[in-house]
Structure 1
Amino acid sequence: MRALVPDAGPAYSGPAGESGEVLSIRGGRPLRGDVEVKGAKNLVTKAMVAALLGETPSVLRDVPDISDVQIVRSLLEVHGVRVEDGEGGSIHLDPSGAATAHFEEIDAYAGASRIPILFCGPLLHLLGEALIPDLGGCRIGDRPINFHMDALRAFGAVVDKSYEGIRITAPDGLHGAKIELPYPSVGATEQVLLTAVKAKGVTELRNAAIEPEIMDLIAVLQKMGAIISYEPNRVILIEGVDSLRGYDHRAIFDRNEAASWACAALATDGEIFVRGAKQQEMLTFLNVFRKAGGWFDVQEDGIRFRRDGALKPVMVETDVHPGFMTDWQQPLIVALTQAEGTSVVHETVYENRLGFTAALVQMGADIVVHPQGIDSPDRRVPRRSLEQAAVINGPTPLHAADVVVPDLRGGYSYVIAALAAEGESVVRNIGIIRRGYEKFLAKLDAVGADFDVIG
C-alpha cells in the first residue's frame, strides 16, 4: 500500500458521517494476514447509553475507535456526561452531571446515527424529558420508530411531535407494561430494556430480539443491579428497581466485522486470521461459510479463514438471531459471484439492502434482484412483504469500476469486490465504512491490500 494520507480513524466530519475520502484500489491479489476485532458496535454504543442509568461511573472495555462511538460520546457529552479515555481501549463514563440538551445540540451529532432514540428511557428516568431530532443511519430500508414510540407510551410516556423533532415526557412516571413487538426488532428490544429496568413494577416483553449483543446488554444491566430474566419463546421479564449503579464490562466481540473479514478471504482466495473472533456467536455464519467452500480453524484467540477449493453456490435467508444476519449477506454476495453455479440470497430484514448489487453488476457480476422475493419449497424463514431476493450466477470475473459507498456493509463489500477484481478501481465516500470498522485502512494494509487514499 502507498497511502497518501494516514488512516485518520473515525474523525467525525458532519451529520452524514461521511468524510469524502476516496480509495484507489488495485485488485486481483489474495488478502493474507491478521486483523483484530474489538467490541461490537451494536453493543458498545448501547452500553454507553446505559451508563446514564447508573448513580456511579461506569467503565466499558474493548471499545472500538469508530465514528459511531464518537457520535454517541458527543451526544452523552452534550447531555452533561463526562467521558474519558482509559487504558487498553476503555472509556470511563460519569453521568453525575447529566442535564437536558437542546434540539440543536442533539441534532448536530444525531444525523449520522439512529442511537439517539435509545436515550429516551434513561433520560426520562434521569431528567423527566427526552428530545429526539429526525433520525439518520444507513439508507438500507424503512426503519420505523413506531415500535419505539408505542413501547414508550405503554410505559406511560407522553410523545409530542413538533417541527424540531419529538419531545417525550413522563408526567406520572414510568411503570411496567406488557409489550409484544410485531417483529423481534433489536432496537425496540433495547428500548424496552433500557426503559423497564427502572420503571415501577414488572415488564413482560414478548417477541423480543435475542441477538448476542442483546444478551450482552442484559449482562451490563444486571451488573448495574437490574433484575432481568429470559424465558423460552422470546419472552423477557424485567422487574423494575429504584436505583442502579455503574458497571465495569468488557464488550462482546464484533461478529459482523469478523464475518466481513472472513468473506474477504473467501472472495479474494486469501487467508485471514481474525483475532478476537469466537465460534459460539458465529455458528450460523460458519455453517454457511463452510457450505460455500470456506475453511476455518477455531483457535483460542481467534478464527482463521480461507477457501477450501472451489467456491460452491448456496441458498441463504437472512433472519433475526439465531438466523443468518442481514449484515452478513452483503460481503458474502461478493464471494458468491465467484462460486460455480447459482446462489440465492433472500433478504427478509431490510427492503433496500440488495440495492448495493448494482455496483457489483457494473463490475461484471451476474446478479438479478427480485423486488418481491422468490417462493421456494426450501424456504424456512416466513416470507415478509418487504423482502427481496438476489440470484447470483457464477463464477464471473470482476473488473475495475468507479463506485460510491452507499452504506456501512455495502461500502465494505465494494472495497472487497475491488480487491477481488482485476484492474484499478475507485471507491468513493469510504468515510461511512468507519462507522463500524476500526482502523479500516490499517487493517487493509495488514492483509496486503494494494491501495492509495486519493482524497
Structure 2
Amino acid sequence: MSGILNVTGGTPLTGEITVRGAKNFVSKAMVAALLGNTPSELRNVPQIKDVDVVSGLLRLHGVDVDYDVDAGVIRLDPRNVETAHVADIDAHAGSSRIPILFCGPLLHRLGEAFIPDLGGCRIGDRPIDYHLEILRQFGAVVDKRAQGIRITAPRGLHGTKINLPYPSVGATEQLLLTAVRAEGVTELRNAATEPEIIDLIAFLQRMGAIISVDTDRVIRIEGVAELHGARQTALTDRIEAGSWASAALATGGDILVRGASQAGMMTFLNTFRRVGGAFEVLDEGIRFWHPGGELNATVLETDVHPGFMTDWQQPLVVALTQATGLSIVHETVYENRFGFTEALRGMGATIQVYRECLGGAPCRFGQRNFYHSAVVSGPTPLRAADIEVPDLRGGFSHLIAALTAEGTSRVGGIDIINRGYENFMGKLEALGAQVSPG
C-alpha cells in the first residue's frame, strides 16, 4: 500500500467492521511463549505490523512461527531457542520497542540477551533505563555497548521487591516476563492493571506460572522452574474499537464494531455518552452513532486503567472539534501527546495547548515544561489539507479529521497506521469512506 492516502471528507461513515485481538496483548503474549518448553497457540490474532515484527524476532531466535492470517491463529514452538545475530535483531526490530521485553525470557532460556537501539512512536520519553534497572534487581548484569546492550545473568535471576513510581504498562510487563521463572518470590507494587495486563497474567498462569493480583495494584509472583505452552483467545482491541467509535461521532456516522466488548470500554462509553454520542451494546459487538443535534463539550483527563486511556484521547479530540463550547483535555500518561493537534489547527480546528495541568489535579508533568493540556473550542468546520502522520494514534486521528473535513486531503506516512489497525483501508471502504492511494 502507498504511503500516501487521498481522503475526501464530508461523508458520514456507516456500516459494520470487525475488530480482532488487542495489539497490546497479542505482541506481549507472543514474547511470553518464549518461556515455554512446548508450543503455544493464540487465537483472534489481528494482521498488523507489530505481529509481523514480533514473529520475525521470534524466528531469529529459533522459534517456529506458524501464522494462519485468515483464521487469526498463530502457533509458536520455542523448543529450539537460540541466540540471534545482533544485526538481524536490529533489522527486524525497526521502530518497535518490543525487543526490550525479550530480555527476561531469553535470560531464562539462553542465559543472555541482546537488544539494539530501540525506536517506537515519538510520543514521550519512554526510557528503557527503567527496564534495565528492573532486570538488574533480578540479578542481571547489563553491559552497554556501541551497537546495543548485552544482558547476562551469571548467577541466575532471583525474585525481588519492586515499587514502581508510576504504574507503567511496559515496566509491569517486563517484571512479569522476568519474575515467572526467577527463583523465589517477586512482589510488584503500584503495578499496571490494564485488561491487556490481566490477560497476559492469565496466559502466563495457563503456562504454569503462579501469579496473584491483589488489591491496591500489588502483584505477587512465585517463581517456577519451568513453563509449558498454552492456548488463549486474545481480548478485543479496545483502542481500535474506541477509534472507530470516535470516527462515527466526528463524521456524523453509524458504525457497528463487531467484537467490541463493554467490559474494557466502560470509561470510554461514559465519556462518549456525555459528549452526545449514542451506543448500543449487542451480543456481537457495540454499535456507535451520532444521534443528531449538537455534541457537548467536556472535561477529560487521561489516566492509567481504570481511567480514560491515553490512546482514546487523540481520536476523540477530533470529535470534540465538532462539539459546542470549550472542552478541556489533560494528558497525564505521556508528556508529548498533543503534537498531532498542529495538523488539526491547520485544518481549521481551534485548539490551544498549555504547560499547566488544566481541568484536574496536578500531575507528574505539571512542573516539567511539557505541553500536556489542551483546550478545544468548537464547533469548527474542518477543511482539507496535506497532512503527515506523526505516530500510530495521532495518525488515525488525522485520518478521522480528513474524513470529517470538506474537500480532499493528502495524508502521508499512512503506513504507520498498519502497526495497530488491521486492514484499515478495507474497513474504511466498507464504511463508505472516499479514499484512494496517492
> Fold-level match, TM-score > 0.5?
yes
Match of 1:334 among 318, 339, 354: 318
Aligned to 2:308: 324
> What is aligned with 1:442?
426
In structure 2, the partner of 1:384 is 365
Q: Which moved more, 1:240-249 or 1:384-393?
A: 384-393
Query: Is the partner of 1:340 in helix, strand or coil?
Result: strand
> Are the aligned partners of 2:36 and 2:229 in contact in 1 as well (CA < 8 Å)?
yes
Matches of 2:3 and 2:275, distance apart in 1: 33
Task: Trace 1:2-401 onto structure 2 (pairs within 5 A).
Answer: 21-86=3-68, 88-308=71-291, 309-370=293-354, 372-376=355-359, 379-380=360-361, 382-385=363-366, 388-401=372-385
Aligned 8 A contact 1:65 1:439 in 2: yes
In structure 2, distance between residues paired with 1:322 and 1:345? 17
Q: Any gaps of 5 or more consecutive residues in structure 1? A: 1-7, 9-19
Q: With structure 2 as the length reference, what TM-score do the two structures score?
A: 0.97
Check the 8 A contact 1:317/1:381 in 2, yes or no: no
Amino acid at match of 1:303: I
Offset of 1:111 from its aligned partner? Answer: 2.1
CA distance in 2, matches of 1:242, 1:169: 18
SS at match of 1:152: helix
Deviations 1:295-321 (Å, cap 9, x if unpaired)?
Answer: 000001100001233110011111111
1:107-126 C-alpha deviation (Å, 9 max, x unpaired): 00112210000000000000
1:229-265 C-alpha deviation (Å, 9 max, x unpaired): 0111100000000110001010011000000000000
**Alpha-carbon deviation of 1:351?**
1.4
TM-aligned CA deviation for residue 381 of structure 1 = 6.8
Aligned-partner Cα distance in 1 for 2:422–2:358: 38
Deviation at 1:146, TM superposition (A): 1.9
Matched residue type, 2:232: H
CA root-mean-square deviation: 1.1
> In the aligned structure 1, how far is the partner of 2:409 from the partner of 2:176?
44
- Is the CA contact (8 Å cut-off) linking 2:124 and 2:337 kept in structure 1? yes
Q: Aligned-pair distance for 1:81?
A: 0.4
Shift of 1:380: 4.7
5+ long unaligned stretches in structure 2: none
Amino acid corresponding to residue 180 of structure 1 in structure 2:
N
Q: For 1:142, what is the secondary structure of its paired residue?
A: coil
What is the CA–CA distance in structure 2 between the aligned matches of 1:383 and 1:179, rounded to whole Å? 20
AA paired with 2:352? V
Distance 1:374 1:162 in 2: 39
Matches of 2:168 and 2:130 in 1, distance apart?
8
Residues 189-230 of structure 1: CA distance to partner in whole angstroms, max 9, x if unpaired? 000000000000000000100000000000000000000001
Q: Tell me the secondary structure at the aligned position of residue 213 of structure 2.
A: strand
Deviation at 1:382, TM superposition (A): 3.9
User: 1:293 and 1:183, CA in 2 relative to 1: closer, same or farther beyond 3 A?
Assistant: same
| 1:167-205 Cα shifts (integer Å, max 9, x gaps) | 100000001000111111000000000000000000000
Q: Which amino acid aligns with 2:316?
A: L
How far apart in 1 are the matches of 2:120 and 2:252? Answer: 32
Alignment match, 2:416: 432
Judge conservation of contact 2:65–2:74 (CA < 8 Å) in 1: yes
Letter in 2 for 1:384: F
Query: How high is the TM-score relative to the length of structure 1?
Result: 0.94
The residue type paired with residue 271 of structure 2 is V
CA distance in 1, matches of 2:204, 2:188: 16
Q: Secondary structure at the match of 2:295?
A: coil
In 2, distance between residues paired with 1:412 and 1:33? Answer: 18
Whether the 8 Å contact between 2:328 and 2:358 is mirrored in structure 1 is no
More displaced stretch, 300-309 vs 125-134: 300-309
Letter in 1 for 2:7: I
CA contact (8 A) 1:319 1:381 kept: no
Which amino acid counterpart does residue 160 of structure 2 have in structure 1?
A
Query: In 2, are the aligned partners of 1:147 and 1:181 still within 8 Å (CA)?
Result: no
Is the 8 Å Cα contact of residues 107 and 153 (structure 2) preserved in structure 1? yes
What is the letter of the counterpart of residue 184 of structure 2?
A: G
Tell me the CA shift for residue 383 of structure 1: 4.7
**1:416 aligned partner:** 400
| Shift in CA distance, 130/209, structure 1 to aligned 2, threshold 3 Å | same
Structure 2 counterpart of 1:16: none
* Contact 2:330-2:358 within 8 A present in 1 as well: no
For residues 294 and 186 of structure 2, what CA distance do their matches in structure 1 show?
Answer: 51
Flag the 1:374–1:182 CA change in 2: closer, same or farther, 3 A: closer
Q: Does the 8 Å CA contact 2:45/2:72 hold for their aligned counterparts?
A: yes
Measured in 2, the distance between the counterparts of 1:216 and 1:265 equals: 28
Structure 1 counterpart of 2:227, which letter?
L
Q: Across the two proteins, how many residue pairs are aligned to each other?
A: 433
SS of aligned partner of 1:112: coil
1:274 counterpart letter in structure 2: V
Q: Which amino acid aligns with 1:333?
A: V
Amino acid across the alignment from 1:38: R
CA contact (8 A) 1:340 1:394 kept: yes
Distance 2:288 2:210 in 1: 39
Q: Tell me, in whole angstroms, the C-alpha distance in 2 between the residues paired with 1:369 and 1:449.
A: 30
